[in-house]
Structure 1
């Protein structure tokens, strides 16, 4: 039933297989209840068919009617009861498994968070959380459980018919083989690749859409918003085309499946007509019993084609999850540097399993204490460059060093050298004091008040009823955007790192607040190395150097004054930003 690659993935699996043994009793119970559901459904129609036929003739004994009535009631009650209990059992088993899988995934990502980002992108994380865990869940609910139950029913039906007629049991063996083997096999061969392609396109959409949404302001600023929309629509169209091919094939296959069921029903009618010869009673009463019992059993086999064609999807999900294992990184050695010069030599980078080169042989030096602005449209590579500088990614080629040491060697120690202020600084649901001490857990209360004064928040906090002990709402919603950014700056000042990376910290602020915040940033960070990733040119004149990245390479580099005087492209960008 399954393609061999799925068996290979399960053979070396460290995520799903352990639960088969851990919860095996519940698993066996769920399979038994599933079998009993379809057994009761088939038995209900069998006894009902016999009862209808027998009631239309003159019974020799009242027991010929009474016993089928009792059995009909018993199987009629048994079917929904077994179905309900089976759903409770199987879903309870699967939900237990997936909850532990999500915990295991979280622990894996949390433990190797820095190293994970060196290989994967934000969209990959969303794909793992949103897609792969759900696929593992469906592996049991939609494939393994139904397939095992269908095969058990198949054997039970064929063996049962063998007691009535060996010849007809062999014929049903062949006919049912079409349901449990031929249709699923054709689905795998014809639709399995499409199913796998659908999942790959969805995963790619998670990655691309995440990157584009996070950089949507760049698209707008570069006046390429329509291109952004066109790119997204093209990706959506590709997904729609694949899904449309899947639907068309499924409709044709389901039509043929129903025709095949009709063939089996006709075969049953012909055989029972020959086997149970009678007129208005006797053995002829069994004709309806055998024919009607076929239809509820078909529900157990109808899901097999879909279950089989999805095995490629499950294989991909298993491989992605198991790829997270075995990547434990050694604890970085203690790193000490004498300077904080940043040097890039022929740095190139592309993400794993992708051919697109994000950065291409980039050469750049940022001396200690220099203020540098990095500009570029979405997808140009500026955010990737910032991530490489932090050491969260490792260059595919070339070298990137901080004080002569590869940035990828710092690990968690990079927090001692580089502080980051994001687009939307996060404030946790705890006191203001605890939020600020994230930058330095040993900071005294006096030091905290001092940095609050430097960033212009001291009077605001003093006016609060509980001062530094004031609880912050989840995500810091009680503070304005500018105030949250000043809180983030206060953290950085307490952290006292020699390098500060500003990742578009003024996005979404009004012009007056933005200008005031920029002035505060650069006044307080005057003695530090500042790397400002931005799409907005307001305040750019305060920088010592401006770098514009295009298609992974440096297209412009120089001081703001030099570029404003000599570079037409910079002049045009400046005019657009100022609304001229």
Structure 2
């Protein structure tokens, strides 16, 4: 039961700065399972940073000692040391890059799978309330947008942090006066770029929202049904204009992002020349003023290290800005991960052991929104094992909802639904799915082979079982005659097959699963009369010996049902056999006369 006062979860476009509430510790927690690999990475990066600052000290010795004394052996040793340090640093760079990307991609995979699994756990009602494009955007655009942050940020923080620390210590050792001057000037250039992060974050939020809308338009308008509708309605130009308008907005946001902080970035480039120039200036003034001169080797080595300091210091700030920009995406990802699952296994849920498949409902009530109108109310119903009960009524009377409560595709708000006396909420969803099968009016086929589509119901089914089920559904000859037989790809949503052929494939698929309780959701409503009669015959065979709930579109298809239940505005208005209800001359009789007319 949905708890009182809790609204059903739904994804909506954020209107504020929701990403501001995403704590960095939650992003950092994504890396916690890989802490050992990260610790190894940290050690390697510290060693790499140490090797990185060795070369300037060796260079100073070459300029101040080895060359003035014409010591060829010392020059050779120092030069070899510089080469070895460079090779070691480069090799460790390759190793650490590979390790950081390995960890990052593992985190990305775990994040992507977690989002997908969270969506899978949501109820059917969630997907009726949420745009498909919004779901696709969360899985692809949002997670793809944080790829760089996840795969490189952790390593970048440690690498650049250790490099900055090592260089800071090294320049203090080399010349503390020049070091203090440099450590005062460098932050001034970095502070000049601080405003860039907030602007980039705002642009990232806008781009994310626009891309979600663009994804929705593509998903809706370039599907088979969307293209068919646009062509038959002559509205292709309208769809193009709608897509072009959203695309222009994305392009404008991309342009703004590219131009954002151009002066700040220019300042970084200028600092690479200005800061070393200041060092040469100060050193030259000391020499001109007669103070104890700074050695040439020290000045050259010092400026070399300063250039190395600016790169990781700038990179650290870039990382901060990247994380700030990505927080908008992380906020949307965590919103998905925090969605409360409306329907899930209760603690201690057992396996459903179907004996006969009797279905019963007591005091059942349901509504789609917590404060909305009731779709079903005060439903008491018994469907004896092995019998067929037909649900009839006008559109919106609650037929489909009532049947779907048995499969627990929706959760009752009041009362209980039982199979063989066991509340469906007390059993696992997997065992309930094995016991209750569904054939809907819209047969869904994956863009895969016929064999793969049939095996979706029973992955371990043999080829003989597939053919047996297809023969029972009277579709085997059609499938065997295809160019590649059962290995023929059915096409997007199975559009290479007719409605009747797809329904027969659905029947074959459910026969493979062989559930004792069966729900037929207006399974022939979209078929022509001839095809409907043929498919209905197969459905009647499928229902034989099973507990069946059939949602009727044409009343003539349910005249032989053991029980007919007439729904009106979410309540049971009448029940009985076809003959009984005709004799009652009530709502059912009027529906039959209306259909005959």
Q: What TM-score results when the alignment is normalised by the length of structure 1?
A: 0.64
Q: CA distance change for structure 1 residues 458 and 288 in 2, over 3 Å: closer, same or farther?
A: closer
Question: Secondary structure of the equivalent of 2:23?
Answer: helix
The gaps in structure 1 that reach 5 residues or longer are 351-359, 376-382, 465-469, 507-512, 533-538, 544-557, 566-580
Tell whether 2:315 aligns with 1:303.
yes
Counterpart-to-counterpart distance in 2, 1:385 and 1:250:
58
Count of aligned pairs: 502
Preserved CA contact (<8 Å) 2:52 2:86: no
Counterpart-to-counterpart distance in 1, 2:212 and 2:184:
40
CA RMSD of aligned residues (A): 5.9
Shift of 1:298: 3.3
Aligned position for 1:192: 201
Among 177, 181, 185, the residue aligned to 1:171: 181
Q: CA distance change for structure 1 residues 158 and 295 in 2, over 3 Å: closer, same or farther?
A: closer
Among 489, 492, 509, the residue aligned to 1:491: 509
Aligned position for 2:331: 316
1:342-381 to structure 2, matched below 5 A, reads 369=390
Shift of 1:244: 1.4
Q: CA distance change for structure 1 residues 123 and 461 in 2, over 3 Å: closer, same or farther?
A: closer
Aligned position for 2:87: 77
Aligned position for 1:238: 249
Among 79, 83, 99, the residue aligned to 1:89: 99
Shift of 1:461: 6.8
Aligned position for 2:154: 144
Question: Secondary structure of the equivalent of 1:481?
Answer: coil
Shift of 1:192: 1.8
Preserved CA contact (<8 Å) 1:118 1:394: no
Preserved CA contact (<8 Å) 1:195 1:310: no
1:410-489 to structure 2, matched below 5 A, reads 413=432, 416=436, 418-420=438-440, 422=442, 424-426=444-446, 435=455, 438=458, 452=470, 455-460=473-478, 472-473=486-487, 481-482=497-498, 483-489=501-507
Shift of 1:269: 2.0
Question: Secondary structure of the equivalent of 1:456?
Answer: coil
Counterpart-to-counterpart distance in 2, 1:119 and 1:238:
26
Counterpart-to-counterpart distance in 1, 2:93 and 2:237:
52
Among 42, 49, 56, the residue aligned to 1:28: 42
Counterpart-to-counterpart distance in 2, 1:62 and 1:399:
93
Counterpart-to-counterpart distance in 1, 2:249 and 2:114:
33
Tell whether 2:330 aligns with 1:330.
no
Preserved CA contact (<8 Å) 2:167 2:309: no
Aligned position for 1:272: 283
The Cα offsets for residues 161-180 of structure 1, whole Å up to 9 and x where unpaired, read as 22344333222222333466
Question: Secondary structure of the equivalent of 1:23?
Answer: helix
Q: What TM-score results when the alignment is normalised by the length of structure 2?
A: 0.62
Counterpart-to-counterpart distance in 1, 2:31 and 2:303:
40
Q: CA distance change for structure 1 residues 239 and 70 in 2, over 3 Å: closer, same or farther?
A: same
Among 284, 301, 319, the residue aligned to 2:296: 284
The Cα offsets for residues 134-159 of structure 1, whole Å up to 9 and x where unpaired, read as 45553344433323333333333333
Shift of 1:320: 3.4
The Cα offsets for residues 32-85 of structure 1, whole Å up to 9 and x where unpaired, read as 366357546xx36x7568868999x86454456434422332234234222212
Q: CA distance change for structure 1 residues 472 and 209 in 2, over 3 Å: closer, same or farther?
A: same
Shift of 1:242: 1.8
1:31-180 to structure 2, matched below 5 A, reads 31-32=45-46, 35-36=49-50, 38-39=52-53, 43=55, 59-62=69-72, 65-105=75-115, 108=118, 117=127, 122-134=132-144, 137-178=147-188
Q: CA distance change for structure 1 residues 228 and 481 in 2, over 3 Å: closer, same or farther?
A: same
Question: Secondary structure of the equivalent of 1:500?
Answer: strand
The gaps in structure 2 that reach 5 residues or longer are 1-16, 382-388, 544-548, 559-589
Counterpart-to-counterpart distance in 2, 1:363 and 1:326:
21
| Structure 1, 137-146 or 103-112: larger mean CA deviation | 103-112
Preserved CA contact (<8 Å) 1:439 1:491: no
